[in-house]
A and B are shown apart, each in its own frame.
Chain A
Amino acid sequence: MKTKKYIQETSKYMDKLNEENSEKFDEILFRIRFSKVNDNEAEEFIYHCLDVFLEAQNKEISVEEALGINNIDEFCNDFINETKKNYSLFEKVYYKLQYLPLMIIIFTGIWQMLFGKLIKIWIKDGFTFEVPITLSMVVNLILVMFAIDVIFNKMYSICKWIDGKTNWKSFIVLWIFFTILMGIFVLSELFLNIVIINVNYLVFMGIFIAILIIQHFYENNKSKDIGRA
């Protein structure tokens, strides 16, 4: 089945869970969806877990007993770690950098070049698509990727931690995190505004949009391969 179909089917049957099981299922859903495993494999597993949950509910046994686990976090870690063991080196690198082209388009393309550099160049030098790539842009992009990586990997722990803490404490920690990030952005803009290369904005965007399209087909083919085997 395709990823979209798994998500639709999961949403369709989730309502059948009782309140207690629904909470436990939400934990699995949250943890697996934010893990860096292939979307299709993740959604298939979530869908399978839902079926096991429903069977447990039907037989009036606990989901822990049905799944053979003591705690849900450990269970999810088992799945994530075992799934990652199946990946080739290419797949490991791919899933680590999966969002890089999208981030480059969003942050370098729109945020930095279009709203920052490109319009300034148009005002100063006239209508052109030749724009400079600066060292600060590269540093800022690496920082954004790092922040996203931390948030994705630690999302589950962060939310669990925030749940158990008073709001003001979590607010302060998040505020410090984003202030440091913004501080580094500003510093890199001030001190690392060194031009590395001049590129044509349209060609630059075109390359990364092409990578995104290739990614889309790669993901689609991958889910078909697993289903067909």
Chain B
Amino acid sequence: MASKSQLLKGSLEGCVLKIIEIEKEVYGYDIFKILKNSGFNNISEGTLYPLYTRLQKNGYIKSEVKASELGPSRKYFSLTDKGKEELESFITEWNELSNIINGILKRTF
């Protein structure tokens, strides 16, 4: 049986895109904190950072380096048009899938 964390991990990419869409421009570590506060308890920055790189390589997000008060400059991510399309497609697929699963789970046979 897939655990809760595995199910969440599978939908991580869509969730990250949604967070970036809401926040407009967001620092990678802030995405991690939002995910953590939303229930992604088993996620670490080690898993998330390669995901940002993948999203950038696929052209879904773009980044800009900005100065920070603490010292090291920070990379801020924002959504591209391609990313917006990908997010729309994720939401559609997610709704379809959850309808199918809910339908089966509620069925009494």
Contacts and interface: CB of A to CB of B under 8 A. Distances in A.
Q: Do A and B bind each other?
A: yes
B32 A68 contact: yes
Contact of A47 (B43, B61, B63, B72): B72
Contacts of A68: 32, 36, 41, 43-45
A48 B49 contact: yes
A229 B57 contact: yes
B75 interface: yes
Interface string A59-98: 0000000011100001111110011011000000000000
Interface stretch (A50-58, A107-115, A192-200, A204-212): A50-58
B72 A45 contact: no
A55 B29 contact: yes
A51 B46 contact: no
Contact of B47 (A9, A55, A78, A225): A78
Contacts of A45: 49
Contacts of B41: 68
B10 interface: no
Interface in B46-70: 46-47, 49-51, 53-54, 56-57, 59, 61-63, 65, 68, 70
Contacts of A1: 65
B65 to A, nearest CB: 6
A178 interface: no
A54 B47 contact: no
Contacts, number: 83
B92 interface: no
A92 to B, nearest CB: 14
A79 B46 contact: yes
B66 to A, nearest CB: 12
B73 interface: yes
B95 to A, nearest CB: 27
B45 A67 contact: yes
Contact of B53 (A16, A58, A86): A86
Binding site secondary structure of chain A: helix
A54 B71 contact: yes
A90 B61 CA distance: 24
Contacts of A55: 29, 70
A50 B44 contact: no
B16 to A, nearest CB: 13
A215 to B, nearest CB: 20
Contacts of B65: 1
A49 interface: yes
Contacts of A83: 50, 53
Interface in A17-54: 41, 44-45, 47-52, 54
Contact of A51 (B29, B43, B50): B29
Most chain B CB neighbours (cut-off 10 Å) among A50, A76, A86:
A86
Interface of A: 1, 9-10, 12-13, 16, 41, 44-45, 47-52, 54-55, 58, 67-69, 74-79, 82-83, 85-86, 225-227, 229
A-B pairs, top 10 by smallest CB distance, nearest first, are: A78-B46, A79-B46, A82-B50, A229-B56, A83-B50, A51-B72, A75-B46, A68-B44, A13-B71, A78-B47
